[in-house]
Protein backbone atom coordinates (compact mmCIF):
# COMPACT_ATOMS: atom_id res chain seq x y z
CA UNK A 1 0.00 0.00 0.00
CA UNK A 2 2.74 2.45 1.01
CA UNK A 3 4.81 1.53 -2.06
CA UNK A 4 1.80 2.14 -4.31
CA UNK A 5 1.08 5.56 -2.76
CA UNK A 6 4.77 6.51 -3.00
CA UNK A 7 4.71 5.58 -6.70
CA UNK A 8 1.53 7.64 -7.13
CA UNK A 9 3.33 10.63 -5.61
CA UNK A 10 6.31 10.19 -7.94
CA UNK A 11 3.95 9.83 -10.92
CA UNK A 12 2.26 13.08 -9.90
CA UNK A 13 5.61 14.89 -9.87
CA UNK A 14 6.39 13.41 -13.30
CA UNK A 15 3.00 14.38 -14.78
CA UNK A 16 3.10 17.95 -13.47
CA UNK A 17 6.48 18.68 -15.08
CA UNK A 18 6.49 21.61 -17.46
CA UNK A 19 8.70 22.51 -20.40
CA UNK A 20 10.81 25.62 -19.83
CA UNK A 21 12.66 27.26 -22.72
CA UNK A 22 15.30 29.95 -23.00
CA UNK A 23 16.19 31.87 -26.17
CA UNK A 24 19.76 32.58 -27.24
CA UNK A 25 20.74 35.12 -29.86
CA UNK A 26 21.84 38.67 -30.56
CA UNK A 27 19.65 41.51 -29.32
CA UNK A 28 16.84 39.29 -28.07
CA UNK A 29 16.34 37.34 -31.29
CA UNK A 30 15.57 33.69 -30.75
CA UNK A 31 18.06 32.12 -33.19
CA UNK A 32 18.59 29.23 -30.85
CA UNK A 33 16.33 27.89 -28.16
CA UNK A 34 17.19 25.54 -25.31
CA UNK A 35 14.31 23.68 -23.65
CA UNK A 36 14.17 21.32 -20.69
CA UNK A 37 11.67 19.62 -18.42
CA UNK A 38 11.27 21.49 -15.15
CA UNK A 39 9.65 20.18 -11.98
CA UNK A 40 6.51 22.13 -11.10
CA UNK A 41 6.60 24.31 -8.00
CA UNK A 42 5.82 22.55 -4.71
CA UNK A 43 2.48 24.35 -4.33
CA UNK A 44 1.21 22.97 -7.65
CA UNK A 45 2.33 19.43 -6.78
CA UNK A 46 0.84 19.78 -3.28
CA UNK A 47 -2.52 20.92 -4.65
CA UNK A 48 -2.69 17.95 -7.04
CA UNK A 49 -1.77 15.52 -4.24
CA UNK A 50 -4.31 17.12 -1.88
CA UNK A 51 -7.03 16.60 -4.49
CA UNK A 52 -5.94 12.97 -4.90
CA UNK A 53 -6.03 12.58 -1.10
CA UNK A 54 -9.56 14.02 -0.95
CA UNK A 55 -10.73 11.45 -3.54
CA UNK A 56 -8.60 8.53 -2.32
CA UNK A 57 -10.22 5.10 -2.38
CA UNK A 58 -10.64 2.58 0.40
CA UNK A 59 -9.73 -0.93 -0.72
CA UNK A 60 -9.53 -4.34 0.88
CA UNK A 61 -6.64 -6.62 0.03
CA UNK A 62 -7.37 -10.31 -0.30
CA UNK A 63 -4.43 -12.73 -0.56
CA UNK A 64 -5.16 -16.12 -2.12
CA UNK A 65 -2.59 -18.90 -1.84
CA UNK A 66 -2.50 -21.93 -4.08
CA UNK A 67 -0.05 -24.75 -4.57
CA UNK A 68 1.51 -25.42 -7.94
CA UNK A 69 2.36 -28.83 -9.40
CA UNK A 70 6.01 -28.19 -8.51
CA UNK A 71 5.19 -27.76 -4.81
CA UNK A 72 5.55 -23.96 -4.83
CA UNK A 73 3.04 -21.63 -3.22
CA UNK A 74 1.73 -18.81 -5.38
CA UNK A 75 0.24 -15.75 -3.71
CA UNK A 76 -2.26 -13.71 -5.67
CA UNK A 77 -3.34 -10.34 -4.31
CA UNK A 78 -6.83 -9.16 -5.24
CA UNK A 79 -8.48 -5.84 -4.58
CA UNK A 80 -12.00 -6.02 -3.22
CA UNK A 81 -14.61 -3.37 -2.67
CA UNK A 82 -14.84 -2.97 1.15
CA UNK A 83 -18.64 -2.54 0.99
CA UNK A 84 -19.64 -5.33 -1.41
CA UNK A 85 -16.55 -7.55 -1.07
CA UNK A 86 -16.67 -8.01 -4.84
CA UNK A 87 -13.48 -8.15 -6.85
CA UNK A 88 -12.75 -4.78 -8.36
CA UNK A 89 -10.54 -3.36 -11.06
CA UNK A 90 -7.19 -1.99 -10.02
CA UNK A 91 -7.54 1.81 -9.76
CA UNK A 92 -5.19 3.95 -11.89
CA UNK A 93 -1.54 4.03 -10.81
CA UNK A 94 -1.72 7.66 -9.75
CA UNK A 95 -4.77 7.24 -7.45
CA UNK A 96 -4.15 7.09 -3.71
CA UNK A 97 -5.45 4.09 -1.75
CA UNK A 98 -6.03 3.39 1.92
CA UNK A 99 -7.07 0.33 3.91
CA UNK A 100 -8.01 1.87 7.27
CA UNK A 101 -9.01 5.31 8.50
CA UNK A 102 -6.48 7.57 10.21
CA UNK A 103 -6.94 7.90 13.97
CA UNK A 104 -8.80 10.92 15.36
CA UNK A 105 -6.01 13.09 16.76
CA UNK A 106 -8.50 15.54 18.33
CA UNK A 107 -9.51 13.13 21.08
CA UNK A 108 -7.11 11.42 23.50
CA UNK A 109 -6.52 7.69 22.97
CA UNK A 110 -4.17 6.10 25.51
CA UNK A 111 -3.92 2.82 23.57
CA UNK A 112 -2.53 4.62 20.51
CA UNK A 113 -0.54 7.14 22.59
CA UNK A 114 -2.55 10.08 21.20
CA UNK A 115 -2.78 13.01 23.61
CA UNK A 116 -5.53 14.94 21.83
CA UNK A 117 -5.61 18.71 21.38
CA UNK A 118 -7.53 19.80 24.48
CA UNK A 119 -5.70 22.52 26.50
CA UNK A 120 -3.15 23.08 23.72
CA UNK A 121 -2.09 26.64 22.93
CA UNK A 122 -3.21 27.89 19.53
CA UNK A 123 -2.97 31.01 17.38
CA UNK A 124 -6.35 32.70 16.83
CA UNK A 125 -4.95 34.89 14.02
CA UNK A 126 -3.35 32.11 11.95
CA UNK A 127 -4.77 30.06 9.08
CA UNK A 128 -2.03 27.43 9.42
CA UNK A 129 -1.88 24.17 11.37
CA UNK A 130 -1.39 26.07 14.65
CA UNK A 131 -4.63 28.01 14.16
CA UNK A 132 -7.33 27.67 16.82
CA UNK A 133 -9.82 26.76 14.08
CA UNK A 134 -7.85 23.63 13.16
CA UNK A 135 -6.20 22.83 16.50
CA UNK A 136 -9.37 22.92 18.63
CA UNK A 137 -11.38 20.57 16.35
CA UNK A 138 -14.57 22.65 16.57
CA UNK A 139 -14.68 22.70 20.40
CA UNK A 140 -14.00 26.45 20.57
CA UNK A 141 -11.19 28.16 22.45
CA UNK A 142 -10.63 30.67 25.22
CA UNK A 143 -8.67 33.83 24.47
CA UNK A 144 -7.26 36.16 27.11
CA UNK A 145 -5.36 39.41 26.86
CA UNK A 146 -2.39 39.86 29.15
CA UNK A 147 0.37 42.41 29.55
CA UNK A 148 4.09 41.82 29.66
CA UNK A 149 5.85 44.41 31.79
CA UNK A 150 9.31 45.56 30.77
CA UNK A 151 11.88 46.75 33.31
CA UNK A 152 13.66 48.60 30.52
CA UNK A 153 13.19 48.79 26.78
CA UNK A 154 15.61 45.92 26.11
CA UNK A 155 15.08 43.21 28.76
CA UNK A 156 11.56 41.90 29.44
CA UNK A 157 10.77 40.29 32.77
CA UNK A 158 11.36 36.60 32.98
CA UNK A 159 8.10 35.17 31.63
CA UNK A 160 8.32 32.26 34.06
CA UNK A 161 7.21 34.77 36.69
CA UNK A 162 3.89 34.94 34.88
CA UNK A 163 1.67 32.49 36.76
CA UNK A 164 -0.64 30.48 34.53
CA UNK A 165 -3.55 28.27 35.59
CA UNK A 166 -5.49 26.50 32.85
CA UNK A 167 -8.52 24.26 33.24
CA UNK A 168 -10.85 22.80 30.61
CA UNK A 169 -14.57 22.54 31.14
CA UNK A 170 -16.71 19.62 29.97
CA UNK A 171 -17.20 21.10 26.50
CA UNK A 172 -13.44 21.26 26.04
CA UNK A 173 -13.19 25.07 26.22
CA UNK A 174 -10.21 25.99 28.35
CA UNK A 175 -10.06 28.89 30.73
CA UNK A 176 -6.74 30.57 31.32
CA UNK A 177 -6.00 32.88 34.21
CA UNK A 178 -2.72 34.75 34.17
CA UNK A 179 -1.36 36.99 36.91
CA UNK A 180 1.92 38.76 36.51
CA UNK A 181 4.34 39.04 39.39
CA UNK A 182 4.75 42.52 40.86
CA UNK A 183 7.80 44.31 39.57
CA UNK A 184 9.03 47.78 38.67
CA UNK A 185 7.35 48.96 35.46
CA UNK A 186 8.54 51.24 32.74
CA UNK A 187 6.51 50.08 29.74
CA UNK A 188 3.93 47.44 28.87
CA UNK A 189 3.04 45.45 25.77
CA UNK A 190 -0.38 43.82 25.35
CA UNK A 191 -0.39 40.25 24.05
CA UNK A 192 -3.07 37.62 23.66
CA UNK A 193 -2.99 33.92 24.39
CA UNK A 194 -5.48 31.33 23.21
CA UNK A 195 -5.97 27.77 24.34
CA UNK A 196 -8.24 24.93 23.18
One pLDDT digit (tens) per residue for the chain, 196 residues = 788 889 899 999 999 999 999 888 777 778 888 999 999 999 999 999 999 999 888 877 666 666 666 666 655 566 666 666 666 666 677 888 888 888 888 888 888 888 888 888 888 888 888 888 888 888 888 887 777 666 655 444 544 444 333 333 334 443 443 333 344 444 445 566 788 7
Q: Give the number of residues written for the chain.
A: 196
The pLDDT value given to residue 33: 87
Number of domains in the chain: 2
The pLDDT value recorded for residue 17 is 94
Based on the fold, state whether residues 181 and 88 are members of the same structural domain: no
In terms of domains, do 3 and 89 share one? yes
Task: Give the whole-angstrom CA distance, residue 22 versus residue 36.
Answer: 9
Residue 45 is predicted with a pLDDT of 94
Kindly report the number of other CB atoms within 10 A of residue 142's CB atom. 19
> Are residues 156 and 120 part of one domain?
yes
For residue 175, what are the domain limits?
110-195
Beta strands of the chain (E only): which ranges?
Answer: 18-24, 32-38, 57-58, 60-67, 73-80, 97-98, 121-122, 142-150, 163-168, 174-179, 187-195
Full-model pTM? 0.50
- Residue 171 is predicted with a pLDDT of 41
Q: Which of 83, 101, 119 is the last residue of a domain?
A: 101
CA gap 168, 141 in Å, rounded: 10
Boundary of a domain, candidates 101, 131, 159: 101
Q: Decide which of 71, 101, 131 is a domain's last residue.
A: 101
**Are 39 and 97 within one domain?**
yes
The packing angle between helices 42-54 and 2-15, to 10°, is: 130
Residues 6+ apart with CB under 8 A from 144: 176, 177, 178, 192, 193, 194
Does 18 share its domain with 42?
Answer: yes
Write down the pLDDT at residue 58.
Answer: 80
Same domain, 95 and 118: no
Cα separation of 131 and 32, whole Å?
A: 51
Amino acid sequence: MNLHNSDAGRNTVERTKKVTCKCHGMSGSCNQKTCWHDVADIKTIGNVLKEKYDFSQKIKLSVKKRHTDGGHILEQVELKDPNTREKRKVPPDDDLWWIQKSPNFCKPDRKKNILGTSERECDPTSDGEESCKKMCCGRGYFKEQFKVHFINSINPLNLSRLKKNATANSSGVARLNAKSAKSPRKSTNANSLAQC
